[in-house]
Structure 1
Amino acid sequence: MARRYLPSTQGLAALEALARLQSVTAAAQELNLTQSAVSRQLQAIETQLGVELFVRRAKRVSLTTAGQRYAEEVRRALDLLSNAALRLQTNPEGGTLNLAILPTFGMRWLLPRLPRFGRAHPDVTVNMNTRLGQFDFTGTDMDAALSFGKGDWPQCHSLWLENEAVLPMAAPAFLRETPVIEPADLVSLPLLHIQTRPNAWKDWFAEHGVATQGLAGTRYDQFSTILQAARHGLGVALLPEYLAREEEAEGRLEVVLDAPSPSRGAYYLVWPEEKHNTPALQAFCAWLKEEVEGEDLLPR
């Protein structure tokens, strides 16, 4: 490591705070330092790196373009250091698994199973962060992620968890006012779309032999919000079967047409090549594989 390029942690914290708060005064207050102390630390970083990081006008200091880029990388590095310290404090002896989860699938499918993992591996701590869409491991401390796709993520390993079929669902009151007899009846109804599956409705109609063009409707960023919209009678939602059956059993939504259609993808656990031999991840993968294989043996 070229230590001459490594500023002090306190100086880096001052830089990150300035970039975020846009004020030396605010940065000093957050760090519990004087303004002059923060200014000296910023000056020391600039001198050490030999690159102009700040623009000084009157009593105001702002970041140059290079300074802003550097501050973004510093923020990520400080987050990694902070998370490493937290993991050490919460689980000094055992392993830690940092897992990115899809909000609804993670909460409905994974969390109910996690107590069994905890009993089998009490020395492993599982930390979870929710996120939407495809996940990029670059620049994060995530060890693995729950993802929806085809299992072909580049430079990654994957473990299949569950296929998905979808069902059209709507509120009981909505269906009383707009009865549906066949798939084509849905084309003229308000459809609720999920942003991460822009072609879901188009694929569903095609599966049922209905030609469509430019399906209208409202869009939602995740299943938790689309569920609320459907429950309040805003339209028909196309939901994964594991969600649809739960909503139906609780009487909050009704299946419009009981004709599940397979999605173009499945749920996977995905992890980057460089994390493949991590003991905590290996234990989690082995446990998940047993969970999935055990469920396949259950009667349907």
Structure 2
Amino acid sequence: MTDALSPGAAARLLGVAPTTLRSWDRRYGIGPRERSPGGHRRYSPADIARLRELCRLVGEGVPSAEAARRIDSATRTATVPEPRAASPGGPVSLSTVAVPAREQEHTPTLQGVARAAMRMDSDLVEHLLQAAVERNGTVATWEDLAMPLLYGMGRRWEDTQRYVEVEHLLSWSVSSVLRRVPAPPSAPGPHVRPVVLACVPHEMHSLPVEALAASLREAGLAHRVLGPCTPTDATVRTVARIGPRAVVLWCHTSGEHDAETLMATARATVRAPERTALYTAGPGWRDAGDALRFADGHLGSLAEGVRMLSG
């Protein structure tokens, strides 16, 4: 059994404690079906697949006993596909686990995604967020799941100086899901004037810009993303080159030259051959003072941003 894992290796792969695996095996019979020649427990890829499905259900808020019952029922009526593993301890994709149709209707919960993130299970985090996007859309997933989770992890780090690795994993998972949001079949062609999304020069916190980009793509609205720490000259040149119908300047934390960036961008929009609106977004603009009069408005939320940019 070259693909079999020891209890410790299985626990590390799944992101749970070895005692949890023993408890699931003792209480619900969801455990290894094989033993080594010496009588030690060994987890096959099929065992890992069942346990990953148990982790997924528990992460979505299903009680452990009920989750185990469902897995046992599914196992009796259908064979759980055995995932291919390149080497012992290799990652098991959630896509290889047979999920009953009734389970696909279960709505991911904030608590479930948080539990998966704390276990460092990025596959499950992305699976749950992807399901939320498909069910509720990008705006609702960002505002009801991703943003509260990121805020909560940030506060936890501030309070304890721990779990920064969880925050980084969660940010990467959210970004990965946002990048996969598809455009509708009727997406606009390259001739349509886009919306330009840019951060101010010092701003590295660009995940909300990715959320706005994904929401615009989902709505079929053309856009161009310049990303974090965009130099002011780069934003100005972009306005001159492509004549966008709107520019959004994102600022999460206020900086010394934010007002200058705003005014320089405003001058570029005035010189554009066609009307180009200019919007600010993010809490960092609170200290911009009189410079805000150069903008056409402030996008206070993702939903508001999509609504205003759709007009």
TM-score after normalising by structure 2: 0.30
- Higher normalized strand content (fraction of residues): 1
Structure of higher CA gyration radius: 1
- Higher normalized helix content (fraction of residues): 2
TM-score after normalising by structure 1: 0.31
Taking CA–CA contacts closer than 8 Å with sequence separation of 6 or more, which of the two structures ends up with the larger relative contact order? Answer: 1
